[in-house]
Amino acid sequence: MRQRITYLQDPQNAVDPSTLQITKDSISRKDLKAAREERITFGFDELPQELYRVLKASHELHIRWVSEIPYESITPLVSRLSPGIHVFYTPQRGSNASDLLCPLLKKVFGEIDCMSPEESFTTLPTERFSHSTAAQYYSPLSSLGDLQTYLSHKLCPASDNACHSRVSSLSAASTLDVSFDTISHALTLSAFFPSTTSAVSISKPATSSPSRLEVGILSFETPLEPEELSLSGFLTVVGEDTKPSPTLFSFPSRHHPSTSFFTSDFLLPTGLHPTLSLSISDATPPLDDRKCTLHTHLTLPRQLFIDKYQLSDPLFLSSKNISALHYISSPVDLEAPAYTLKTWGSSALLELSPPSSSSKEWTAEIPLHLRYLPPNYGQAGKKETQIPYPILFWACTADEGSKFGVNPFDRVNLGYDGLFGPRTLFFHLSPKPEGGKLVCPLSVPVLDLDRSGLVEVGTAAVVALGFAWVVWCLVGVWRRSGFGSGKERVEGEKKAN
């Protein structure tokens, strides 16, 4: 087991390393204002059996959870995803054990609507850039409570109080990534905690197995190249170092912060064709000397969808300040009710068209469509639902020749990065939700079961009555003039007269 705990600070909060107390198995400080990333890497032999069996059948598995509660990202951990749980998965070739994945996800994360990768996952395009996983799954998930219970039971020894308290501290995490690939043959768990001021007290766990604990306190510097991020501070390997070693390093990074921000909500009334409005603080690209385009990546649970055919007309698109729909997971059924679908939903990447040379707030609108949702009781024919906040970023072309090797804070397989070329820089806009949560709520009209008691009987009765009426009319026709043309009768009457 290897652990890395990184405190990330704004430069003005940087601390004097001499104020850190370092012993042979711990590091502490009275208080520290910083965000924190905790990263734990497990070897296969340290994992519970059920986890091991799923991982053995996987080529690649990335589970990414993001909290609904808005948080401030900090360099270099600036990449974003919509809140909820995302699963990016490539099964091991020839393996048929992928049936175990969904039951395990349910066991670890709680009641999520996942049946099997074949039924519930959507496929990602893998032909263009090889670093994308084969399949994707998403589910809303507001807390990590079930995961915490699972970890406490399965990973922490009963007597290890430090382990239990670290698990319970996950309640404060804003993001959690669980990553595995066959090449590294290790499972990495990393959690991000937004900036707080608190006491630092980290001790090396007293285990017999070989372990390593590294603690860093870093703040960002102005980099020399736009592709790069630069950090300075101190690193300490607990148990090996007696004093923190100063460090300054730069690395090319895919993900960068942006000073712009945005708000997203549904235009009212939503009806059955809601419009998602994106209000963006300004239209200024992050780099002047590169080609930059603004994109939004939407994660749409199955109750809503985008009609790609509607988003093909240039006039319609420009009236909404959209340039193009670049990607949508397929297939997206354009008609079926939500309750007959098994796939989780769909994701889409749209390029927006910001007004030229404007530093004012502007708006783009994404037309969506609702499916029929199941009828319900006691809610006056309404179903409250929500979609996770979209993410927005500028995608800029990096310098020819720049290589984004693996950096210590890198994050790949986010669902949208695979849709861009390998030399792309992402500048992430911060979400500023008005409702205090990173979700866009909406109310969907459904059949009100409190008032639908007569529907079956009533429909049957009315149709039967209507049918009887026509039959009665036809019986009259039959009795008077039979099946024939009616000619004989008329001629007969004539003769009689």
Partner 1 sequence: MSKFFSSPFLVFSSAIALRIGLFFYGLWQDANSPMKYTDIDYYVFTDAARFTAHGHSPYDRETYRYTPLLAWMLLPTTWSSTWFSFGKVLFAVGDIVAGWLIIMVLRSSNKMSMERALKFASIWLLNPMVATISTRGSSEGLLGVIVVALLWAITQKKIVLAGFLLGFGVHFKIYPFIYAPSIIWWLDDEQLGRSKPAKEGEGSDLVSLVKNFINGPRITLTISSLLTFLSLNTLMYIIYDYPFLQHTYLHHVTRIDHRHNFSPYNTLLYLSSSIPDPSPTAIKLESLAFIPQLFLSAVALPILLAKKDLASTMLAQTFAFVAFNKVCTSQYFLWYTIFLPFYLPTSTLLSRPYLGLSAAGLWILTQALWLQQGYQLEFLGNSTFVPGLWVSSLLFFGVNVWILGIICSDIEAGTAPVITKPEQRPLRKKKEVKVKAKGKGKVSVLDIGICR
Shortest distance (Å) from residue 123 CB to partner 1? 16
Shortest distance (Å) from residue 120 CB to partner 1? 17
Query: Which one of the spans 129-137, 164-172, 176-184, 310-318 is the region binding partner 1 (CB under 8 A)?
Result: 310-318
Contact status: 473 vs partner 1 (CB under 8 A): yes
Contact status: 125 vs partner 1 (CB under 8 A): no
* Residue type present at position 314: P
CA distances from 249 to 122, 234, 389 (A): 39, 11, 34
* Residue type present at position 313: D
Shortest distance (Å) from residue 449 CB to partner 1? 8
List the alpha helices (DSSP H) in 155-242: 161-168
Please compute Rg for the chain using Cα positions. 30
Break the chain down into helix, strand, coil percent, rounded to 5.
20, 40, 40
189 is written with which tokens?
A: 């768990």
19 vs 312, beta carbon nearer partner 1: 312
Query: Which one of the spans 130-138, 146-154, 318-326, 429-437 is the region binding partner 1 (CB under 8 A)?
Result: 318-326
356 vs 497, beta carbon nearer partner 1: 497
Shortest distance (Å) from residue 404 CB to partner 1? 37
161 vs 452, beta carbon nearer partner 1: 452
Shortest distance (Å) from residue 114 CB to partner 1? 18
List the alpha helices (DSSP H) in 274-324: 314-319
418 is written with which tokens?
A: 């695979």
Contact status: 270 vs partner 1 (CB under 8 A): yes
Rounded Cα distance between 478 and 482, Å, is 4
Rounded Cα distance between 469 and 477, Å, is 13
Phi and psi torsions of 145, nearest 5°: -50, -45
Rounded Cα distance between 194 and 344, Å, is 29
List the alpha helices (DSSP H) in 353-484: 455-481
Which one of residues 93, 360, 487, 495 is an interface residue with partner 1 (CB under 8 A)?
A: 487
403 is written with which tokens?
A: 């290589």
Shortest distance (Å) from residue 467 CB to partner 1? 4
408 vs 466, beta carbon nearer partner 1: 466
**Count of residues in contact with partner 1, rule CB under 8 A:** 64
Task: Scan for tokens 């098994």, then name that residue.
Answer: 342
Which one of residues 119, 316, 408, 421 is an interface residue with partner 1 (CB under 8 A)?
A: 316
Which one of residues 48, 272, 441, 492 is an interface residue with partner 1 (CB under 8 A)?
A: 272
246 vs 466, beta carbon nearer partner 1: 466
CB 460 within 8 A of CB 466: no
Q: How many CB atoms within 10 Å of residue 253?
A: 23
Query: Which one of the spans 91-99, 235-243, 327-335, 342-350 is the region binding partner 1 (CB under 8 A)?
Result: 327-335
Shortest distance (Å) from residue 225 CB to partner 1? 42
Contact status: 334 vs partner 1 (CB under 8 A): yes
Which one of residues 309, 401, 406, 496 is an interface residue with partner 1 (CB under 8 A)?
A: 309
Contact status: 63 vs partner 1 (CB under 8 A): no
43 vs 486, beta carbon nearer partner 1: 486
Residue 267 DSSP label? P
Query: Which one of the spans 37-45, 62-70, 147-155, 484-492 is the region binding partner 1 (CB under 8 A)?
Result: 484-492
Task: Report the SS3 class of residue 197.
Answer: strand
Segment 453 to 472, residues that bind partner 1, using CB under 8 A: 455-456, 458-460, 462-464, 466-467, 469-472
Which one of residues 19, 56, 452, 492 is an interface residue with partner 1 (CB under 8 A)?
A: 452
Residue 268 DSSP label? S
Rounded Cα distance between 218 and 222, Å, is 13
Q: How many CB atoms within 10 Å of residue 445?
A: 15
- Here's the x/- map for partner 1, 341-380, by CB under 8 A: it reads as -------------------------------x-xx----x
Contact status: 382 vs partner 1 (CB under 8 A): yes
Task: Report the SS3 class of residue 133.
Answer: coil
137 is written with which tokens?
A: 């799954």
Contact status: 267 vs partner 1 (CB under 8 A): no
Phi and psi torsions of 50, nearest 5°: -65, -35
139 half-sphere exposure, CB direction, 13 A CA radius: 19
Strand (E) or helix (H) holding 324: strand 322-328
Binding-site ranges for partner 1 (CB under 8 A): 269-273, 309, 312-313, 315-316, 318-320, 331, 333-337, 339-340, 372, 374-375, 380-382, 443-448, 451-452, 455-456, 458-460, 462-464, 466-467, 469-474, 476-478, 480-481, 483-487, 490-491, 494
